[in-house]
């Protein structure tokens, strides 16, 4: 743990924004509009090597669509950019990376990358953000307020199941999946009930020798090819309740269902997207289903979601016995100098942009009060 006592070598900023994905860029843009100067008053840090947030790491075959949609950032329209107009034939990671790069440059947000935030600690009347650069150089930034927008990509959730350690095949999570060709001719088990699992199954069809799909709860399919607004509102409300209670955040998809696009409909009709109850256990060369059937598997893909990446906030001791952090309206209840963007009701494209303005205004109020 670093010493949070300020020194003459420490950098200073009124606000540090951790993360330059959708939530972080949205907050940064609004803070700039409210008068903070990027690079001096406000410092934006991002651990990734390039622009695009988590999208830059997604697999090559993923395309933007109803189930994988990115909402426009505030300030994009004045640039003539809209994701709805993007080339759907291009990989989603390339489209988002390019649009975010143009956004950062156009608005001169001066994002520092790749910079890993190693810890956030209390330091007098502010917070000390300790970082490490790609060359290993450690720096500290003393901030009046910190906005954490670190997302979830760095902390994939892989549940433990009996026998998992004795299974002799390959196991990968969503962040490690690159392409279906890596599983050519293999028997593949896919675990998880979200859009990533669905995408993997559709890509593996005709490439893998076989696929079997296991989910913890029966799949919910929503009518139409786009996210239902009423279901989304209910999912956001449940996220907000969990955040205020300091609980582990539920999945957005579990509250909305998955929109049935034409591609998904074709997969359902072909029988590729047939979910089964979660298996009982692993053995050396496969899994044993709930009704006792042995399913051979060369590989298991864990598309079982993510947890909020808050490890660098550990010195603040915010995590509750329920496994979450108490957050109300984007602000930590236990550390009022800390705001969490893209967390709870903002933890998807449904709410991240919407919350950017609200958090920015709260940050400015906190600065005025300090």
- 61 and 189 in a single domain? The answer is no
188 is a domain residue: yes
CA of 40: how far to CAs of 12, 14, 101, 112, 160, in Å? 8, 8, 20, 12, 45
Determine the Cα–Cα distance for residues 106 and 102; give it in Å rounded to an integer: 6
Tally of domains in the chain: 2
Mean pLDDT score of the chain: 90
pTM: 0.88
- 84 and 192 in a single domain? The answer is no
Whether residue 182 is predicted with pLDDT greater than 60 in this model: the reply is yes
Q: Name the more confident of 186 and 231.
A: 186
pLDDT band at 229 (very low <50, low <70, confident <90, very high): very low
Listed residues 279, 302, 325: the one ending a domain: 302
- 185 and 74 in a single domain? The answer is no
> Which H or E run includes 291?
none
Note down the domain range covering 275.
170-225+260-302
Structure tokens at 283: 């053995």
Q: Where are the beta strands (DSSP E) in 194-265?
A: 210-215, 221-222, 258-259
> Which H or E run includes 123?
strand 115-123
241-290 pLDDT, tens digit per residue, is 888 888 877 766 555 678 888 899 999 999 999 999 999 999 999 999 99
* CATH code (residue 15): 3.50.50.60
- 15 and 148 in a single domain? The answer is yes
- 18 and 137 in a single domain? The answer is yes
323-338 pLDDT, tens digit per residue, is 889 999 899 999 999 9
Report the percent of the chain where pLDDT is more than 90: 73
């Amino acid at each position: 743990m670093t010493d949070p006592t300020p020194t003459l070598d420490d950098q200073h900023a009124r606000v540090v924004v951790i993360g330059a994905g959708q939530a972080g860029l949205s907050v940064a843009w609004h803070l700039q509009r409210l008068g903070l100067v990027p690079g001096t008053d406000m410092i934006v840090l991002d651990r990734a090597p390039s622009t695009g947030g988590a999208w830059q790491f997604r697999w090559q075959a993923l395309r933007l669509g109803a189930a994988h949609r990115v909402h426009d950032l505030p300030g994009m329209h004045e640039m003539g950019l809209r994701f709805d107009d993007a080339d759907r034939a291009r990989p989603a990671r390339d489209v988002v990376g390019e649009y975010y790069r143009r956004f950062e440059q156009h608005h001169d947000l001066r994002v520092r990358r790749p910079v890993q935030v190693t810890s956030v600690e209390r330091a007098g009347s502010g917070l000390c953000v300790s970082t490490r650069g790609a060359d290993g150089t450690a720096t500290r930034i003393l901030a009046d307020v910190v906005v954490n927008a670190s997302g979830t990509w760095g902390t994939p959730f892989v549940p433990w199941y009996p026998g998992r350690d004795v299974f002799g095949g390959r196991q990968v999570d969503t962040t490690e999946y690159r392409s279906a060709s890596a599983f050519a001719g293999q028997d593949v088990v896919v675990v998880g009930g979200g859009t990533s699992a669905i995408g993997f199954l559709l890509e593996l069809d005709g490439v893998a020798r076989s696929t079997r799909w296991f989910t913890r709860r029966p799949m919910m399919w929503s009518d139409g090819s786009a996210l239902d607004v009423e279901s989304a509102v209910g999912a956001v409300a449940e996220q907000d309740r969990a955040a205020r209670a300091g609980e582990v955040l539920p999945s957005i998809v579990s509250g909305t269902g998955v929109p049935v696009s034409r591609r998904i409909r074709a997969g359902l009709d072909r029988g590729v997207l047939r979910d089964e109850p979660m298996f009982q256990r692993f053995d050396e060369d496969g899994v044993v289903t709930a009704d006792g059937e042995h399913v051979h598997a060369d590989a298991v893909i864990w598309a079982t979601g993510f947890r909020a990446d808050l490890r660098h906030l550990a010195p603040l001791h915010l995590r509750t016995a329920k496994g979450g952090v108490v957050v109300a309206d984007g602000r930590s209840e236990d550390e009022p100098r800390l705001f969490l963007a893209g967390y709870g009701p903002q933890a998807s494209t449904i709410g991240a942009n919407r919350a950017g303005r609200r958090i920015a205004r709260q940050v400015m109020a906190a600065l005025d009060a300090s």
